[in-house]
Amino acid sequence: MVLSIVTILLGCSQSTEKRQTAGEAASTIQADPNDPMSNKGIGPVKEVVLGELDNAMVADGEKIFKQLCSACHKPEEKFIGPAPKGIMTRRSPEWIMNMIINPEEMVKYDPVAKQLLIDYNLAPMANQNVTEEQARKILEYFRTLE
Amino acid sequence: MRTLIFLSLISLAFLHGCQPRQGGMAGGGAATDAASRVYVAPGELDEFYAFFSGGFSGQLSVYGLPSGRLLKIIPVFSVDGEKGYGFNEETKPLLETSFGFIPWDDAHHPQLSHTNGIPDGRWVFINGNNTPRIARIDLITFETAEIIEIPNSGGNHSSPYATENTEYILAGTRFSVPFPQQDVPISSYKETFKGVLSFISVDPKTGHMELAFQVLLPAFNYDLARAGKGKSHGWSFYTSYNVEQAHTLLEANASQYDKDFIAAVNWKKAEEYVKAGKAKEMPASYFHNIYDDNSHMATSKEIKTVKVLIPSECPDMVYFLPTPKSPHGVDVDPTGEYIVGAGKLSADMSVHSFSKILEAIENEAFETHIDGIPVLKYEEIVAGIVSSGGLGPLHTEFDDNGHAYTTFFISSEIVKWKVGTWEVVDRAPCYYSVGHLMIPGGDSKKPFGKYMVAMNKITKDRYLPTGPELNHAAQLYDISGDKIQLLLDFPTVGEPHYAQAIPAHLVAPNSKKYFSLEDNVHPHVTKKESDTRVVREGNVVRVYMTTIRSHFAPDNIEGIRVGDKVYFHVTNLEQDWDVPHGFAVMGAHNAELLIMPGQTETLLWEPDRPGVFPFYCTDFCSALHQEMQGYARVSTKGSDTPLKWWVGKQE
């Protein structure tokens, strides 16, 4: 009873659009959401195919990262949030992009993101209103941080 | 058990609410199902935005209707520590005038911008009465975007009314003053004083205001105004009192004559005279201040001339309409045909007909001329008299069904009457002593109707007592049926002289959520944390600082000296809705900064003693908000402490 009231309240506080995104995403979560490499996270990004490294995208991605993310993330060392160095071996590309685009829902519903929030002293991952296209470029930049 | 007690408490409360109050006005006057009609459930949104003037607060309050919930106070003419308005370096120029920096004014009449005579949801204008000014508030940011000073005015009261397409904002002077302003005996009033009406043009794209021209009139008190619309589009109307031209004890001396005038100005004709070069270019000094949303800064400019039209040299431009008993409000019905003059010292109201005015002009039905201005014959222009039985009529607004509603200050009520037949159809008491009233769109060609708000001058026992000073009371009525029904009382800020309301859907979709960091062209912006730095230029120290949840960069600063002027240029790097950061430093002689996402704001700090002083974020921003702090070390004058700054680890 208490639970269902909470659900209704939560439901009302979000826009219809957001609720649909969460619902759809929930069904696409792979076998084990706790397995970081198969977990695609929650958000609009369903499938990312990585081709050969695109240097123009890398340069754009680095610029966007510096502008919107570097206040909390240093490429190679832990700062307010984790360092993106080596992230491609720790998380799926879809999870990374969803975390950038949809941080509020990720830290609420995704088990890996939830744990990260706790590990990083509840410092919130700010929503910097990054577009999907921008997030893809940031991802390309992350591929160079091995 | 607990539930039971709770329920019975609720029913008690309801029962109590229905009982006539002991000692107060019987019953409080509300409709029986009022609660359900004003209840906006948690998470639901109001139907209308209502903009209430702050009166002597100098600000503009935004309320939701029908709930009466206060949504925001927009600082306009008065400094506001809550938002750093007038304290940060960026907004100080908005309050510059020919008298220097003025931190306060008395704001009376909000006016929504109109397109085709209907509120369009772009801007709200409001007048500063004391040091004559008009401000424009942008309804994308809900911030003051522009303020223009009005020269040759002695109290900008009959202002700022919009013409049908906001071609002009009207600004008449309540107090006449020497023209040009000069040192003369007050007793030379009749010879040296003048009343000036100003026409402020508004750029339809940017909203930027410009003082297009002024019209020089005899030294009466020009009290309130409205622009014509529909058939009277192209004209503007101003009530006057004190045609006796008294300059002392006006309480008695300005009420001698039976009639004063409504000044009717054909502004299209005035435009032609200006184009034809008939205006005199007169020396003046007034300030025009504009805030830019990309540089996040206001700039100030002094202007030194003004174009003035003199009616005796410009025939067919101004007429006087005799109107009984010191008229206060002058309100034009939605068709533009009827001009209602509310004689505040009488019981009746005279309604003039615009068609009859045109006819009287055509037939030269003039009683006399004053300074070359024809005075029309009263009986030739009156369409009807509203005999209400009330006392002290002040202001009139209109609904969408052909009715007018007039406030009566002395008899403390609103009277509903039929436009055209002048018959009184209903009346409702106000608690207490109503001044202005407002119906959404009630000054426009197509009133939205539905609700009416009374703004009362006296509060007394309507709320829990709060000492001698009480917030003014507003009252919401339902006017959708035959009978006016009182729904709600709610307190307001300062003294709301007037308000206007607009359906929320015309404004809400345009409301800005955050400023794009990419578009920020502030001269001292810092767009990424790696660019943060501290620069010394003589005794000026500039701190280029950024904020993000939840730290400042830099957060440790050394090498500041006593006597320095330290400018904290703080850029909020957040790019999300509702994530402002605050900035406050110990001993600052101004206020905090409240920096919106993507914005840059500057605080000047002049440390007067050595030590290490904390600064911190004042607006709760995240679970780590309490950790959002820093230190500034101040050394003695002439010390050689090196200038250093860092965040995280000392470099």
Q: In this predicted model, what pLDDT tens digit does every residue of A80-103 receive, in sequence order?
A: 999 999 999 999 999 999 999 999
In the predicted structure, residue B7 carries a pLDDT above the cut 60: no
DSSP 3-state assignment of B503?
Answer: strand
With contacts defined as CB-CB under 8 Å, which chain B residues touch A135? none
Q: How far is A69 from chain B (nearest CA, A)?
A: 9
Q: Do B574 and A80 touch (CB under 8 A)?
A: no
In the predicted structure, residue B11 carries a pLDDT above the cut 60: no
Q: Do A70 and B528 touch (CB under 8 A)?
A: yes
Which of B339, B375, B369 minimizes the C-alpha distance to B354? B339
- Predicted local confidence at residue B199, as pLDDT: 98
Q: Do B623 and A124 touch (CB under 8 A)?
A: yes
Whole-number Å distance between alpha carbons of B641 and B167: 59
CB-based contacts of A56, cutoff 8 Å, min separation 6: none
- Predicted local confidence at residue A42, as pLDDT: 96
Chain A residues contacting B via beta carbons under 8 Å = 12-13, 66-68, 70-72, 79-80, 121-124, 126-129
Across the strands, what pairs with B604? B567
Q: How far is A90 from chain B (nearest CA, A)?
A: 25
Mean pLDDT, residues B600-613 taken together? 98
What domains sit in chain A, N to C, each tagged with a CATH number?
2-142 (1.10.760.10)
Q: Is the distance from CB of B127 to CB of B137 less than 8 angstroms?
A: no
In the predicted structure, residue A27 carries a pLDDT above the cut 70: no
- B163: which 2 tokens? 């013409």
CA angle B404, B242, B60 (to 5 degrees): 55
Which B residues in the span 500-559 are in contact with A, Cβ-Cβ below 8 Å?
Answer: 514, 517-518, 527-530, 546, 548-551, 553
> Quick one: CATH architecture of B36-510?
7 Propeller (2.130)
With contacts defined as CB-CB under 8 Å, which chain B residues touch A129? 514, 575-576
Q: How far is B99 from chain A (nearest CA, A)?
A: 43
Q: What is the phi-psi region of residue B10: left when phi exceeds 0, alpha when psi lies from -120 to 50, beta otherwise?
A: alpha
Task: Name the DSSP class of B78.
Answer: S
Which B residues in the span 620-639 are in contact with A, Cβ-Cβ below 8 Å?
Answer: 622-624
- Predicted local confidence at residue A28, as pLDDT: 46
In the predicted structure, residue B177 carries a pLDDT above the cut 50: yes
- B472: which 2 tokens? 């003014």
Nearest residue of chain A to residue B554 (CA atoms): A71
Q: How far is A29 from chain B (nearest CA, A)?
A: 27
Q: Do A70 and B530 touch (CB under 8 A)?
A: yes
- Predicted local confidence at residue B433, as pLDDT: 95
| Out of B4-18, B59-73, B79-93, least confident range | B4-18
Mean pLDDT, residues B301-328 taken together? 96
Mean pLDDT, residues B188-202 taken together? 97
Q: Do B575 and A12 touch (CB under 8 A)?
A: no
Which of B626, B553, B572 minimizes the C-alpha distance to A121? B626
Mean pLDDT, residues B585-606 taken together? 98
- B70: which 2 tokens? 């206060």
Across the strands, what pairs with B502? B49
- Predicted local confidence at residue B651, as pLDDT: 56
Q: In this predicted model, what pLDDT tens digit does every residue of A54-82 receive, in sequence order?
A: 999 999 999 999 999 999 999 999 999 99
Q: How confident is the model at residue B31 (pLDDT cuts 50, 70, 90)?
A: confident
Which of B37, B52, B69 minimizes the C-alpha distance to B437? B52
**Tokens 């020919």 label which residue?**
B98
- B44: which 2 tokens? 């639901």
Q: In this predicted model, what pLDDT tens digit does every residue of B423-441 receive, in sequence order?
A: 999 999 999 999 999 999 9
Q: Do A79 and B648 touch (CB under 8 A)?
A: yes
Nearest residue of chain A to residue B553 (CA atoms): A71
Residue in A12, A67, A126 nearest the CB of B527 = A67
Task: Name the DSSP class of B55.
Answer: B
Nearest residue of chain A to residue B648 (CA atoms): A79
Q: How confident is the model at residue B29 (pLDDT cuts 50, 70, 90)?
A: confident
Strand extents, DSSP E, B66-164: 69-74, 96-97, 100-101, 111-115, 118-128, 133-138, 143-149, 158-162
Mean pLDDT of chain B, nearest integer: 94
Q: What one-character-per-residue DSSP string does B576-628 give?
A: STT--EEEEETT-SS--EEEPTT-EEEEEE---S-EEEEEE--S--STTGGG-
- Predicted local confidence at residue B416, as pLDDT: 98
Residue in A72, A80, A129 nearest the CB of B575 = A129
| Out of A26-40, B166-180, B600-614, least confident range | A26-40
B573 contacts chain A (CB < 8 A): yes
Q: Is the distance from CB of B85 to CB of B79 less than 8 angstroms?
A: yes
Which of B634, B557, B593 minimizes the C-alpha distance to B80? B593
ipTM over 0.85: no
With contacts defined as CB-CB under 8 Å, which chain B residues touch A63? none
Q: Is the distance from CB of A68 to CB of B575 less than 8 angstroms?
A: yes
Q: Do B551 and A80 touch (CB under 8 A)?
A: yes
Q: At what angle do helices A132-142 and A55-68 cross, to 10 degrees?
A: 110
Residue B106 CB-density burial (10 A; 0-12 exposed, 13-18 middle, 19+ buried): buried
In the predicted structure, residue A5 carries a pLDDT above the cut 50: no
CB-based contacts of B138, cutoff 8 Å, min separation 6: B122, B123, B144, B145, B207, B293
Whole-number Å distance between alpha carbons of B31 and A120: 55
* pLDDT > 90 in chain B, percent: 91
B581 contacts chain A (CB < 8 A): no
Which of B268, B236, B107 minimizes the C-alpha distance to B169? B236
Whole-number Å distance between alpha carbons of B238 and B247: 20
In the predicted structure, residue B2 carries a pLDDT above the cut 70: no
Q: How far is B579 from chain A (nearest CA, A)?
A: 9
Nearest residue of chain B to residue A13 (CA atoms): B43
Across the strands, what pairs with B341? B330, B350
Across the strands, what pairs with B408? B393, B413
* Residue ranges, CATH 2.130.10.10, chain B: 36-510
With contacts defined as CB-CB under 8 Å, which chain A residues touch B624? 121-123
B283 contacts chain A (CB < 8 A): no
Residue to mutate among A10, A14, A80, A100, with most B CBs inside 10 A, is A80
* Residue ranges, CATH 2.60.40.420, chain B: 529-646
Q: At what angle do helices A132-142 and A93-101 cross, to 10 degrees?
A: 130
Q: What is the dihedral of CA A71, A76, A81, A82, to 10 degrees?
A: 160
Residue in A67, A80, A126 nearest the CB of B528 = A67
Q: Do A71 and B553 touch (CB under 8 A)?
A: yes
Q: How confident is the model at residue A24 (pLDDT cuts 50, 70, 90)?
A: very low
- Predicted local confidence at residue B650, as pLDDT: 66
User: Where do runs of H (alpha helix) occur along B153-237?
Assistant: 189-192
Residue in A12, A70, A123 nearest the CB of B550 = A123
Q: In this predicted model, what pLDDT tens digit does every residue of B89-134 receive, in sequence order?
A: 999 999 999 999 999 999 999 999 999 999 999 999 999 999 999 9
> Quick one: CATH architecture of B529-646?
Sandwich (2.60)
Which B residues in the span 25-64 are in contact with A, Cβ-Cβ below 8 Å?
Answer: 43
CB-based contacts of B492, cutoff 8 Å, min separation 6: B52, B61, B63, B455, B471, B472, B473, B474
Residue in B528, B546, B549 nearest the CB of A66 = B528
Q: Do B548 and A126 touch (CB under 8 A)?
A: yes
Q: In this predicted model, what pLDDT tens digit does every residue of B325-371 receive, in sequence order?
A: 889 999 999 999 999 999 888 888 999 999 999 999 999 999 999 99
With contacts defined as CB-CB under 8 Å, which chain A residues touch B553? 71
> Which has more confidence, A13 or B238?
B238
B328 contacts chain A (CB < 8 A): no
Cα B424 to Cα B399, B419, B460: the distances in Å are 15, 10, 29
